[in-house]
Amino acid sequence: MPREDMKKPLIRGGANPQHLGTSVSGPGTPLVGILGTGDFSRSLAKRLVASGYRVVVGSRNPKRCVSLFPEEAEVTTQQEAATQADLVFVALFPEHYSTLAGLKEPLAGKTLVDVSNGTKINKDKESYAEQLANLFPESSVVKGFNVISAWSLQTGPRDGSRQVLICGDSSRAKNAVIDICHSLGFTPVDTGRLSSAREIENAPLYLFPSWRPPFLSTLVVFLFFYAYNFLRDVLHPYVTEGKSAFYKMPVEVVNVSLPSAALVTLALVYLPGLIAAFLQLSWGTKYRRFPGWLDCWLRLRKQLGLCAFFCAAMHAVYSLCLPMRRSARYKLLNEAFKQVKAGQEDVWVEEEVWRMELYLSLGILALGVLSLLAISSLPTVANSLNWREFSFVQSRLGYTALVIATLHTLTYGWTRGLDPKQYRFYLPPTFLLVLAVPLAVLLGRLALSLPCAALRLHRIRRGWERSRAIRFSLPGDECNGGLQEDISRV
Amino acid sequence: MPREDMKKPLIRGGANPQHLGTSVSGPGTPLVGILGTGDFSRSLAKRLVASGYRVVVGSRNPKRCVSLFPEEAEVTTQQEAATQADLVFVALFPEHYSTLAGLKEPLAGKTLVDVSNGTKINKDKESYAEQLANLFPESSVVKGFNVISAWSLQTGPRDGSRQVLICGDSSRAKNAVIDICHSLGFTPVDTGRLSSAREIENAPLYLFPSWRPPFLSTLVVFLFFYAYNFLRDVLHPYVTEGKSAFYKMPVEVVNVSLPSAALVTLALVYLPGLIAAFLQLSWGTKYRRFPGWLDCWLRLRKQLGLCAFFCAAMHAVYSLCLPMRRSARYKLLNEAFKQVKAGQEDVWVEEEVWRMELYLSLGILALGVLSLLAISSLPTVANSLNWREFSFVQSRLGYTALVIATLHTLTYGWTRGLDPKQYRFYLPPTFLLVLAVPLAVLLGRLALSLPCAALRLHRIRRGWERSRAIRFSLPGDECNGGLQEDISRV
Amino acid sequence: MPREDMKKPLIRGGANPQHLGTSVSGPGTPLVGILGTGDFSRSLAKRLVASGYRVVVGSRNPKRCVSLFPEEAEVTTQQEAATQADLVFVALFPEHYSTLAGLKEPLAGKTLVDVSNGTKINKDKESYAEQLANLFPESSVVKGFNVISAWSLQTGPRDGSRQVLICGDSSRAKNAVIDICHSLGFTPVDTGRLSSAREIENAPLYLFPSWRPPFLSTLVVFLFFYAYNFLRDVLHPYVTEGKSAFYKMPVEVVNVSLPSAALVTLALVYLPGLIAAFLQLSWGTKYRRFPGWLDCWLRLRKQLGLCAFFCAAMHAVYSLCLPMRRSARYKLLNEAFKQVKAGQEDVWVEEEVWRMELYLSLGILALGVLSLLAISSLPTVANSLNWREFSFVQSRLGYTALVIATLHTLTYGWTRGLDPKQYRFYLPPTFLLVLAVPLAVLLGRLALSLPCAALRLHRIRRGWERSRAIRFSLPGDECNGGLQEDISRV
């Protein structure tokens, strides 16, 4: 499903660019130069022309390239382009920067925009933009536009939803690039001096950095429970009774491990907030920094929550598939056979019926509430909520989901925890293990809602400090003008 | 699932702010003051510095606070900050405003930005911004930034997707704040004079005001049907035959009430449009205002529709869970036993088979169409549709869903409406009750599509009025230049 | 589910507009005129006033209309409005443009904004904006705001997420309109000279142009498989054995055709990229244009993918409904009867059990991966991905889904392809037909990942050309400054 923006064809890159005459881009418009004639260069030229800029392209072989560019762009030699333009985009592979050495003079005092990208994450080498700046010490180099692909330039939205990271040492040069960003329909983000260019060059190369820890921890939890259930449900009957239950591996064992991973991960979403609150309570201040791992954990709660939701949704689909399987059918038929042979007219067990009905409805409710949470994580939906609504959804609804999911697990377990036969290989039933973290979180939350703790926490978060409580509190300081979003959000 | 924006870490609040020297924020940059040193103050200072502003912070205790602020921000006394700055953010709790009395003189003629928030919705008291304006009659007070949290300032997106409501009596002062909004990556929305500050202060305190009536009405409909079905399906067998069917309460009764609520609520989405159309037809003009309740109802149709979708989706999950229950299993086994005892080789009933296959496929189709409607309600998807597409989705697809859902209910009911045994406690079967509203809506819609009504309605919506039809119609007036989106959207 | 924006009521059209006095829109603010007094005119006047503009409305009957406009807008005669205003919106139906002939003189030299819309797509006639320009040769006509409805003007978001297409021959006039766009919270998109007005007037009339080919091709594939399965599963037993299986038409035949359509369509998403790669390999250059049909196919891959996902999701729901049907119940009961009669204690077939467990888990996994792909197609989610993440999701995850779905189909078919009884009417089993396209795509992809092909393709995409390989390659040309998004994205 490759991206193809939903905008109408008309609004891509300016319709009828052949009609854009000098009346649109008059003599006052700044003249933008582009060195290089690759895909990026051509897409940039088109977008610049469509946005009303005059464009001059510098090529080593102007005659061969002229047909690739829009009519309004002038294609000439590199020397000529560098001389004419006020601001020059350097759209060459960095390995060819040295071929530009002859342009030092015409480019002196001008703004150069380095749009290059690496192919690997660069942790210690000099950035390409700094290399360019070393080559042209008399020009002002600005890093930018590397996060935008040629494809985005031609077909992407113009509504400012795409950010362009820029940096550079000259604020005048940066402002010129910022203006172009705005005109082209991007949102510029100034990240400081040219020394942060390496980070900008790395930006398009990261692969879901904020998803990695939550994904890995969910995976580890899942694999642990998979192994645990494999031991209990597949290996145990094989070893003790010689019964082969290996057919359970693709569906049944997965379907017990998925909800285990979901519930534990959901509890892990709320655990760091509790730890933060307890730390603040024991420190008696909110001005001490949390340890790094806690900060990081707090920042990744959204991703953890979405991992939990994904596991829960997959668990729902797996569960719904259960009655469809051949194995379920064969078991049912064999049971019917046995019932007939035994002459047992009614097999109804009221307790089992009730357990299952409660268990199912709690599961459905938990999934429903989690779905609302997941939807409110979509960027546009989250943006349309005010602070109180957001905290209501994430805190109230989130804890509601945790409580319902815990009850769902409890009704699943029912009295099995008391049955010695369930302790196969001396291992307790899975659901007892699963419940440890969510029950700890819910108890911790309960403790924090006791009046003594809640009141003190509230005061600490309004700026009160135990160490200064005896001194005269300066009223104008340590206050919070805006609505403060609790970092711990408990 | 707490919000953690999906942007890369790099672009938060300006990387490497320690490198932002004077070359970026040169002497021409306006000097922004902040009074107060709480969380909001610190986050604001960081974002201002990262956006190229020079910042001076006024504290009662500058030495103690200096380490909390970015290096580029100057931290000094309140007096000094008020004197130097051109524009001053007042980031104190409103209860401490009186401590600023000594700054009247240095702040005279300057713009003060009140960023404070209340803790409860304020219906009649003076707003904090007006209190500040009374304290500093010679300064121009602008209300703003209170809807932005300290958290958003530090980590939020910079793409203008967050709105900042502002108001004030001086347009010059407002323009200065609007400029800062834009530079910080927010979208300013001017709501008028300072007297609207109370509304701005209330804005972050509302809890889903537009969801409350649709949610409550869906809940009432659901509870009504739950009680009705409880009477018929649980209480009736208990009272008349002494049979306990209480196990039906968590799943089966819910699963009959959910689709009832879904269909009735979906019909309520299209009812107000019909009422509006009939009113316009009977009035003979579109220039008369609808009564307040109708206006309100028309505005809440999207939320009503999403409530209907949520009920329908939950109904689907509940239904899919039915064969998984113990009760379904026991019933099946007992039936197999009976069949064997009776020696009945084939229990196939062709009519029942057909009813069920039709009933299921109509239900799936209705859910599929409703899903498309729900997806097109997402803000970004809705924004990418043009008017014709939007009206196609909401009106055509919406009515299609209503028709299919009605047929789904009819095939569910089948001939039961004619069976006297179904009238338990003299109450008609649920599906007959449910069908009342959707059938009324569909008949009304049919009536409006008759040529005589459709033509007249079309003319009325193009500006024709019955009362003026005899007079000479002035061509240039009452017309509609743009594509008019029918308010009634039938 | 009509759209009702999620913003709070407060921010609609400026709260308390009655308080907006001259202090806000001072004497320096440009005076905007509006001719016409319809819905659009009134909504525009309100939004202009709320954004700080002074507004004068020209009406044929000012006294009658004055009450319909906000207090701050002056309502006067058309002559008077045309004389006073600096820029004039013409908000009349185009058929009434001729009534404005008398205003030629006061409008001379001014900017006229044509906001009109057609009712049908206009393929060859002159646009309304050009008609207006012919009437007022001495004014500068700009087309714009026609894509915005009166409804959007009053209630829509102000965050620039709505685009306003504009065009015109005078850049000065266009800039004035662009400024108003920005102030009103829209994003202007300049599409060139006035001759592109026809396209702008058509823009709101298109009905999902980019969805039509993918939707139709999915429909054709679905219908083909429906007919094929009808022949094999319904007609064949009726013709050969006289058995009526017509009850299978609403659910079972649909549920075999849906996954067929889903898998074939998913394969069609990745086929054009392969064709493009093979063309580039055989041409030895990336600078030759692809044929039109391939370009178009490449552009519609996202929509194709979403169609495939929709079919897959519906297939999942249909499958989950299967055990719920009466027919399934009757068959199960009859089977139990047979088992008892035959005295067969255990009907377990290990191979069938394994096939089904594998088949189900592969199906669930494929759906899970496809869901992730679908979610990443949402505009805001796609916008928050960098290039590497986007290509990972669309290419890696996409091919993963294709492989899993192919395996799902293979385990469904199992050994049936070898059973002569499955060749009813000499037609091969459906799954063999379905597998043709995905297997071809996977084999083609495998061929491209052979080192010889992969290396050459990589070089071609970095700008290498076979025809020039013998010549000295000019280093500074044919390069790609930014990260190039492979058009073929294989």
Mean pLDDT on B400-420: 90
What does the pLDDT average to over B90-100? 89
Q: Tell me the shortest Cα–Cα distance from C204 to chain B, in angstroms.
A: 5
Residue B487 has pLDDT above 50, yes or no: no
Work out the mean pLDDT of chain B and round it to a whole number.
Answer: 84
Decide if B20 touches A, using CB distance below 8 A.
Answer: yes
Beta strands C111-114 and A54-59 are: unpaired
Could you tell me if B19 lies within 8 Å of chain A, comparing CB atoms?
yes
Chain C residues near residue B292 by CB distance under 8 angstroms: none
| A71: confidence class by pLDDT, cuts 50, 70, 90 | confident
Residues C6-36 as b/e (b if ≥16 CB within 10 A, e otherwise) read: bbbebbbbbbebebbeeebbeeeebbbbbbb
How distant is the Cα of C160 from the closest Cα of chain B, in angstroms? 8
Average pLDDT score over chain C: 84
At residue A189, φ and ψ (nearest 5 deg) are: -130, 115
Give the best-scoring range by mean pLDDT among A152-166, A350-364, B468-482.
A350-364
> Which among A1, A71, A141, A182 is the top mutation candidate for probing chain C, defined by the most C β-carbons within 10 Å of its own β-carbon?
A1
A216, β-bridge pairs: none
Q: Is B344 on the interface with C (CB under 8 A)?
A: yes
Instruction: Note the pLDDT of residue A303.
Output: 94
Q: Whose CA is closest to C131, among C183, C94, C161?
A: C94
Closest C-alpha among B342, B29, B332, B47 to residue B185: B47
- Per-residue HEC secondary structure of B139-186 comes to CEEEECCCCCCHHHHHHCCCCCCCEEEEEECCHHHHHHHHHHHHHCCC
Is pLDDT above 70 for B187?
A: yes
Please name the fold of domain C9-13+29-205.
Rossmann fold (3.40.50)
Could C477 and A15 be called an inter-chain contact, meaning their C-beta atoms sit closer than 8 Å?
Answer: no
Which A positions 190-249 lie with beta carbon below 8 A of chain B?
A: 190-193, 195-196, 199-200, 202-203, 206, 209-210
Q: Comparing A165 with C487, which gets the higher pLDDT?
A: A165
Residue among B2, B147, C316, C337 at smallest CA distance from A210:
B2
H/E stretch holding B65 reads helix B62-65
pLDDT of residue A420: 82
* More confidently predicted of B24 and B167: B167
Cα C135 to Cα C36, C104, C171: the distances in Å are: 17, 8, 20
pLDDT value of position B206: 87
Q: Fill in the DSSP letter of residue A51.
A: T
Mean pLDDT is lowest, of A45-49, A180-184, B258-262, C53-57, for A180-184
Q: What band does A161 get if pLDDT is binned at 50, 70 and 90?
A: low
Interatomic CA distance for residues B406 and B468, integer angstroms: 41
Q: A99 at the C interface (CB within 8 A)?
A: yes
A182 lies within 8 A of chain B by CB: no
Compute the average pLDDT of residues C279-297.
Answer: 89
Facing B484 at nearest CB: one of C37, C40, C60: C40
CA C125, C131, C133, C134 torsion-angle sign: positive
CA atoms of A114 and A133, how far apart (whole Å)? 9
Q: Which residues of B touch A346 (CB under 8 A)?
A: 330, 334
pTM of the shown model: 0.86
Q: Where are the domain boundaries for CATH 1.20.120 in chain A?
A: 212-340+347-461
Token code pair at residue C24 = 């806000």
- Tokens read off for B211: 């969801």
pLDDT at B28: 53
Q: Tell me what the mean pLDDT of segment A51-78 comes to.
A: 86
In one letter, which amino acid is A207?
L
| Neighboring chain B residues of C317 at a CB cutoff of 8 Å | 316, 320, 364, 367-368
Percent of chain C with pLDDT over 90: 51
On the question of pLDDT at B9 being above 50, the answer is no
pLDDT at position A257 is 97
pLDDT bucket at C423, cuts 50 / 70 / 90: confident
Residue percentage of chain B with pLDDT more than 90: 52
What residues 357-386 of chain C have any CB closer than 8 A to a CB of chain A? Answer: 357-358, 360-361, 364, 367-368, 373-374, 376-384, 386
Q: Does residue C14 surpass a pLDDT of 70? A: no
The secondary structure element, H or E, covering residue A77 is: strand A74-77
* Pair A74, A49: CB distance under 8 Å: no
Whether residue C1 and residue B373 make contact (CB cut-off 8 A), yes or no, is yes
The Cβ of residue C190 has, within 10 Å, a number of other Cβ atoms equal to: 26
Confidence of residue C17 (pLDDT cuts 50, 70, 90): very low
- pLDDT tier for residue B386 given thresholds of 50, 70 and 90: confident
Q: Does the pLDDT at position C406 exceed 50?
A: yes
Any idea how long chain B is? 490
Q: Which letter, b or e, does each residue of A120-149 get, where b requires 16 or more Cβ atoms within 10 Å of its Cβ? A: eebeeeebbbbbbbebbeebbbbbbbbbbb
Q: Quick one: pLDDT band at residue B373, thresholds 50, 70, 90?
A: very high
Contacts of A377 in chain B (CB under 8 A): 1, 3
pLDDT band at B379 (very low <50, low <70, confident <90, very high): confident
Q: What is the ipTM of this complex?
A: 0.83
Candidates B163, B203, B302; nearest CB to C158: B163
Task: List, for residues B228-286, the tens digit of each pLDDT value.
Answer: 999 999 999 999 999 989 999 999 999 999 999 999 999 999 999 999 999 999 998 87
Tokens of C341: 């009669």
Q: How many beta-carbon pairs below 8 A join chains A and C?
A: 293
Task: Give the whole-angstrom CA distance, residue B222 versus residue B228.
Answer: 10
Tens of pLDDT, residue by residue over C438-467, are 999 999 999 999 999 999 998 888 777 777
Question: Tell me: the pLDDT tens digits for C350-385?
Answer: 999 999 999 999 999 999 999 999 999 888 788 788
How far, in Å, CA of A473 to CA of A459, rounded? 13
* Nearest-CA distance A165 → chain B (Å): 7
Right CATH for A212-340+347-461 from 1.10.10, 1.20.120, 1.10.150, 3.40.50? 1.20.120
- Asked if C356 has any chain A CB less than 8 Å from its own CB, the reply is yes
Q: Which CATH superfamily is domain A9-205 in?
A: NAD(P)-binding Rossmann-like Domain (3.40.50.720)
Give contacts of A340 with chain C, Cβ < 8 Å: 340
C337/B contact by beta carbon, under 8 A: yes
Contacts C16 to B, Cβ<8 Å: 191-193, 195-196, 199
Collapse the DSSP code of C139 into the 3-class scheme (helix H, G, I; strand E, B; otherwise coil) and give the result: coil
At B146-163, the pLDDT tens digits run 888 887 787 666 555 678
pLDDT value of position C330: 92
Q: DSSP letter string over B328-375?
A: HHHHHHHHHHHHHHHT-S----HHHHHHHHHHHHHHHHHHHHHHHHHH
Q: Which residue bears the tokens 């600078």?
A: C287
Selecting from C60, C323, C325 the residue whose C-beta is nearest the C-beta of B476 gives C60
The DSSP secondary-structure symbol of A172 reads H
**Nearest Cβ partner for C361 among A50, A115, A250:** A250
Strands C54-59 and C74-77: parallel
Of A15, A185, A379, the CB nearest to C380: A379
In which band, very low, low, confident or very high, does the pLDDT at A156 lie, cut at 50, 70 and 90? low
Q: Which residues of B touch A339 (CB under 8 A)?
A: 333, 336-337
The whole-number pLDDT of residue B193 equals 87
User: How far from A311 is each of A262, C5, C368, CA to CA, in Å?
Assistant: 5, 32, 10
